Amino acid sequence: MTRRAEIRTTHDSPALAERIARSLRPDNTSEMTTHVDGDAVVTTIERDSTSGLQSTVDDYVVNLRVAAQLANQPTQPTTHE
């Protein structure tokens, strides 16, 4: 039996949600999908075991926190010397 979790977080704007989703997607495993729904980032995780699902969700939440914090930072122009 496959276990499934859907994690939905809302953000200040669709553009911010898209920035966060783009930063999360590279870390997704084959059992994960991430998409944007308006101002929400929605990730679905499927695993064969409850413990595997819990571990993947825990890792995802940590990545999500970091992505959201970084996405909310003011952008600085880069300069090359």
pLDDT by residue, tens only, the chain of 81 residues = 899 999 999 999 999 999 999 999 998 989 999 999 999 999 999 999 999 999 999 999 999 999 999 988 776 666 665
Which three-class secondary structure string do you get for the chain?
CCEEEEEEEECCCHHHHHHHHHHHHHHCCCCEEEEEECCEEEEEEEECCHHHHHHHHHHHHHHHHHHHHHHCCCCCCCCCC
> What's the CATH class of domain 3-71?
alpha beta
